[in-house]
Amino acid sequence: MIKEIQDLKKELQNQEKQIRDLQIKIQNLTKEHFNEKMKMNQLIQQLQLENLNKTDQLNQISMYSNQTNQTNKINKENQQLKNENQNLLTKITQLQQIQDDSKSQIFKLNDLKEDLQNQTNQFKIQLNSSEEQKRLLLITIESIKNQNNQLCFDQHDCISQINFNQIQELLIDALIKKKKVQYQSQQKQLMPLNKLKVFNTILQNYLLIIYQKQLSELIRTLRNASLPIFQCSLVNCNFVFISRDGNQSCQVDNHYFCPICEISCNFKRL
């Protein structure tokens, strides 16, 4: 589970880096587009100025020359001006196309940035959900650890102990398997908390049945042996005391030290 959380964090960092790279690329494209536009305007102004100058020259030649060779020269220059004007219009069209392409690319990059931001938000949600699942699982495990039941002879002679620590490995294994199965499906969700609680309840009930069965068999055996059986009277304490000395050891107000409660408790006879 911790590895998956680390992977999600790493993926989140990669997504944020891609967003920063896209922002830099958008800024560069915008700057290039602005520079191209300035160059285009300068070129247009320069060509227009040259066109005016050549037009003035053409007018002057037309006014002061009546010879055929001058007329042909003027016509030739006029044709050259027309060709240059046509080339200028072609360049303007190309620059406009470049400008449109740049705008389209900027729009696409903005869309990609938005998609990456959405993916980043989804990773954050999954990361928070994983951490919350981990926190709730640890709380559940700690609560189970505090419910260890012991059946003992006298004060320190334990003959049976149900170890609830094994539930920790079982719960973690079940949660990881559940996550793997659901990640392979279309939902891609973690194990629901209500299912985890039901699973935990089933395990506790199963272990409680085993404990009660062992306790019943032991009580039946000890009763056949005429040994008195006492249980701690405090709520939620399952410590059982079996006296080997008969009733004489239980006549001092029925008080004995309970290793689970860690105090001197009042035992009731079963």
d(CA 216, CA 231): 13
Percent of the chain clearing pLDDT 70 (strictly above) = 49
225 and 156 belong to one structural domain: yes
Same structural domain for residues 139 and 233?
no
Q: Answer yes or no: do 54 and 155 share one domain.
A: no
Question: Is 82 a member of any domain?
Answer: yes
* Domain co-membership, 34 together with 110: yes
Q: Is residue 263 part of a domain?
A: yes
Unique residue bearing structure tokens 């699982």 = 137
More confident residue, 98 or 222: 98
Q: Is the pLDDT of residue 242 over 70?
A: no
Co-location of 123 and 137 in the same domain:
yes
Q: Considering all CA atoms of the chain, what is the largest pairwise distance in Å, rounded to the nearest integer? A: 151
CA gap 55, 227 in Å, rounded: 129
The DSSP code for 67 is S
H/E stretch holding 190 reads none
Q: Which of 144, 176, 211 is the last residue of a domain?
A: 144
Residues 92 and 153 both lie in one domain: no
Residue 241 and residue 140 share a domain: no
Q: What is the pLDDT of residue 189?
A: 47
In-domain check, residue 196:
no
| Neighbour count for residue 233 (Cβ, 10 Å) | 13
Domains in the chain, number: 2
Task: Decide if 184 is inside a domain.
Answer: no
Residue 50 shares a structural domain with residue 154: no
Q: Computed over its alpha carbons, how large is the radius of gyration of the chain?
A: 44
Residue type, 199: F
Which of residues 243 and 204 earns the better pLDDT score? 204
**Residue 173: inside a domain, yes or no?**
no
Find the Cα–Cα–Cα–Cα dihedral 99, 102, 104, 106, rounded to 10°. Answer: -140
The Cα–Cα gap between 167 and 163 comes to: 8
Residue 249, domain member (yes or no): yes
Q: Check whether residue 23 and residue 109 sit in a common domain.
A: yes
For residue range 103-162, list pLDDT tens digits in order. 777 787 777 778 777 777 776 776 666 666 666 666 655 554 454 444 333 333 333 343
Percent of the chain with pLDDT over 90: 0
Q: Is residue 70 part of a domain?
A: yes
- Mark whether 153 and 256 lie in a shared domain: yes
Quick one: 208 and 154 in the same domain? yes
Quote the pLDDT of residue 247: 42
Report the relative pairing of strands 157-161 and 229-232 from DSSP bridges.
Answer: unpaired
Q: Kindly report the CA angle at 175 between 205 and 202, in degrees rounded to 5?
A: 10
pLDDT given at position 152: 38
Query: Please, what is the average pLDDT of the chain?
Result: 68
The verdict on residue 178 lying in a domain is no
Which sign does the torsion angle of CA 201, 203, 209, 215 carry?
Answer: negative
One domain for residues 138 and 237 = no
Q: In the predicted model, is pLDDT for residue 51 greater than 60?
A: yes
Is the four-CA dihedral 248, 252, 255, 256 of positive or negative sign?
A: negative
226 confidence band (pLDDT: 50, 70, 90): low
Better-predicted residue by pLDDT, 27 or 151: 27
Res. 27: pLDDT tops 60: yes
Whether 267 shows a pLDDT value over 50: the answer reads yes
Provide the domain limits for residue 153: 148-164+201-269
H or E element at residue 225 = none
